[in-house]
Structure 1
Amino acid sequence: MTTEDRTPGPEPRTSLGQPPRNRRELLRKLVWVGVWLVFMSSPVHDLAAGRHTPSGTAAGWLGLAVFAGVYLLLVFRNMGRPMRRSLVVGLIVVLCVLAVVLCLTLGAAWLGLFCYVSVACGAALPLRAAYWAVPATGAVMLLVGLPTDEAEARNLVLVVVLIGFAMTGVVQLVRTTVELREARATVAHLAANEERLRLARDLHDLLGHSLSLITLKSELAGRMLPGHPDKAAQQVADIEQVSRQALVDVREAVTGYRRPRLSAELAGAQVALTAAGVSAELPAEPDLAGAGEDGEAVLAWALREAVTNVVRHSGARRCVVQLLHRQTLDGPMLELSVEDDGSGGSGTIAGNGLTGLTERLEKAGGMLEAGRAGRGFRLVARVPLTP
């Protein structure tokens, strides 16, 4: 997630103010709410002591019940349909007015109600609004409490402010935890997508090459069968060998352990091009010094894709494969070049094979070039060399 300006989305779901999803969350929420109810012990003791008139006591109990109900409504504000922000602000104002009226009419013992107002501001308001509302609650408590009990008001103001800011910290901590969990889920999802993409590339490269060779040899066997049954039998045997090897390659690709070797791909390219009637010029022994396993593997994939395209699409009569060490502006490179004299595509529109090959090379720090070259088509793949 970046910190640049962007359109704000919905706030992440936190456990504060949300319905419990299981019995454990319900117990945790009840304990959390019960801890804060300790500040109501002083008003309850004041009413139970009988220091007020019967009408004053009844009004006190009623006001305390309404205050507790509004507070609990804010705590569980998102049960069912979440409250609108304007309604939340209105309920906080009601809490503040009730606290002021009860303190002015019933005495300093009710100053603890401002702790609930501060907690409600910290939990229900946006962070910037809470930074202003919590100190304002402490200031209102001082204005109300100083005329009645100055010492109690001064002792309680720090508690009111700190408890409100502590609640904003708790809300931010829960929100950050939820965002972290969502980020982890996103990373896991992206990793799964990347693995699917890798598997799709591998299967395309493996099956495209093998099935093209099987199709080609099947056509040759069909043409040879009437006049040259022995040669047709040899082609059928080659088809069986290629199909078995393709099955092994697919299994290895699925398990993720396959690393194609360039020497093996060169030998396979020689067989495929010869079977297609294409005159092939390939390096006898590739010099892979400094390419590393990843570089060799991606060049092997490039050779397989290029030869498959020559056999299937180009109609070429000649194909030249070169493997060269070059010094470029980006440093030393190992370059694989596959050029034919056919009439293959223009290279301006990349198919699935070239797209996947480009992604492979970019991951290895290399690059791909493909396009028309003279009368034919040329594919160049480069990977960086390490000392």
Structure 2
Amino acid sequence: MGTVDLPSDRSWARGHWRITGWLLAAVWLFFLNIPLLTALHQAEVWRRAVGASTLVGFGVLYVWVFEWSRSCRQAHRPIPRRRAWSFLAALLGLGLAGIPGTEGDWLTTLVFVAAAAVFLLPTREGLVVVVLAALAPPVSAALVPAWKSEGTVVFAVVLASFAMFGVTRLAQRNTELQAAQQEIHRLAVAEERARTARDLHDILGHSLTVVAVKAELAGRLLELDPARAAVEIADVERLARQALADVRGTVGAYRGVALVTELAGARSALAAAGIVAQVPEAAPPLPVERDELFGWAVREGVTNVVRHSGARRCEIRVEPTAVEVRDDGRGPAGESDPAGHGLVGLRERARRLDATVSVGRRPDGRGFVLRVAVPDGDPA
């Protein structure tokens, strides 16, 4: 499968949309040809200069304002209202300043003022500007008889405003979609980090606890029974290598947990800690996801018993729909560390199968019990 250069693709996309944005704003300037022709046909040179220069300045400012507002939305920055009104006033001022050269055709610039109000201002304020721009041609014709009221200008104001409203809403939705995609990506990364931290905690918490217990036992046996101490040291080496393999497996996302394996590990860990263990020799056939969940439950429960409970006996019960780790210690079995990561991780795994995790004192008051149960009839 070929590789994709994502940064280059993003750079190309940004450049593509930047050019598209400039073109989208500039293409509308074609409608300034009417006042521009009027200015260029003026008899006096100064009128031609005033009309042409103000229209050029008007077009440049309009395109720049459009691109500026679009970049603000893409960067998720609000458009300052005072600056928006300043830009609109500047556009209107340039349109009015060109009257000596454009005469009544300056009204065409109101089409752009209305469109700019739509993408710069909130909806209600923009609507007010659009209405005023649409009323300006007939009012101007009534006040200045030389300026004919052209219905085409009113229609152009309304049409351009509606078109810009659609473009603005589309840009806003695209911006919201990009923000949502970025948030989804951030949450996915955070979830993956949390999963990795949880798995590493569960793996190393159990393995290092057993390693510490066996190392302590080997130290006590070193003078009394060197052969037994050597066996325990060999187990420590094996467990350390297994923990390393599990960590590598977690990083590579191919590590799995099996109930049978965890039962065997529990038997060894409890024996090394001097705890009388009652562990099933075999496990009932279970679906893969449930078998893995029960394996995690045994690992977490035995780790807590060895590390915290001070128990002398531990019993593990496995049923098709539940697994229990019971001890006669002082507990509590759920506090594997101050943050409770082990139990939190176990509950997260159980939630995927709609299973329940309960930790508390045994009904007879003699010790604690960790129980994980799936609903009856759960096919998982």
User: Identical aligned pairs, as a percentage?
Assistant: 37
Please state how far the C-alpha of 1:244 moved relative to its aligned partner: 1.9
Kindly indicate whether the alpha-carbon contact (under 8 Å) linking 1:103 and 1:111 is maintained by their aligned counterparts in 2: no
Picking from 193, 204, 224, the partner of 2:201 is: 204
Unmatched tracts of structure 1, length 5 or more: 1-20, 326-333
Deviation at 1:115, TM superposition (A): 1.6
Residue of structure 1 equivalent to 2:6? none
More helix by share: 2
Q: Which residue of 2 aligns with 1:298?
A: 293
30, 37, 41: which one aligns with 2:29: 37
Deviation at 1:70, TM superposition (A): 5.3
CA apart distance, 1:36: 2.3
- Specify which of 323, 337, 342 is matched with residue 353 of structure 1: 342
**Residues of 2 paired with 1:70 and 1:82: CA distance?**
20
| Aligned-residue offset at 1:83 | 7.2
Q: 1:114 maps to what in 2?
A: 110
Aligned to 1:149: 148
Q: Is the 8 A contact 1:134 1:165 kept in 2?
A: no
1:13-92 aligned within 5 A: 27-50=19-42, 56-57=47-48, 60-61=51-52, 63-64=54-55, 67-68=58-59, 71=62, 74-75=65-66, 84-92=80-88
| Superposed CA offset, 1:127-179 (max 9, x none) | 343244324422323433586435xx223322221112211221222222222
CA 225–97 in structure 1, closer or farther in 2 if over 3 Å, else same:
closer
Q: Match for 2:148: what amino acid?
A: D
C-alpha contact 1:114 1:141 (8 A) present in aligned 2: no
2:326 pairs with one of 300, 319, 339: 339
> For the Cα contact (< 8 Å) 1:111–1:145, is it kept in 2?
no
Report the counterpart of residue 359 of structure 2 in structure 1.
370
Q: Which residue of 2 aligns with 1:4?
A: none
Equivalent residue pairs, number? 354
Are residue 125 (structure 1) and residue 125 (structure 2) matched?
no
1:313 paired to 2:308: yes
Q: How does 1:212-227 map to 2 (within 5 A)?
A: 212-227=209-224
Q: Is the 8 A contact 1:269 1:304 kept in 2?
A: yes
State how far apart, in whole Å, the 2-side matches of 1:31 and 1:208 are: 61
Deviation at 1:23, TM superposition (A): 6.5
Tell whether the 8 Å contact from 1:337 to 1:378 is kept in structure 2 after alignment.
yes
Separation (CA, whole Å) in 1 of partners of 2:242 and 2:334: 30
Measure, in 1, the Cα distance between the counterparts of 2:373 and 2:78.
57
Tell me if structure 2 keeps the 8 A contact 1:347–1:372. Answer: no
Going from structure 1 to structure 2, the CA distance change for 1:345 and 1:94 (only over 3 Å counts) comes to same
> CA RMSD for the aligned pairs?
3.2
What is the 5 A alignment of 1:228-267?
A: 228-267=225-264
> Which moves more between the two structures, 128-137 or 155-164?
128-137
Amino acid at match of 2:371: V
The answer as to whether partners of 2:52 and 2:101 remain within 8 angstroms in 1 is no
Measured against aligned partners, the alpha-carbon deviations of 1:303-330 in whole angstroms (never above 9, x if no partner) come to 10110111111111111111235xxxxx
- Classify the secondary structure of the residue corresponding to 2:371: strand
Contact kept in structure 2, 1:323 and 1:336, CA below 8 Å = yes
How far, CA to CA, are the matches of 1:97 and 1:269 in structure 2? Answer: 84
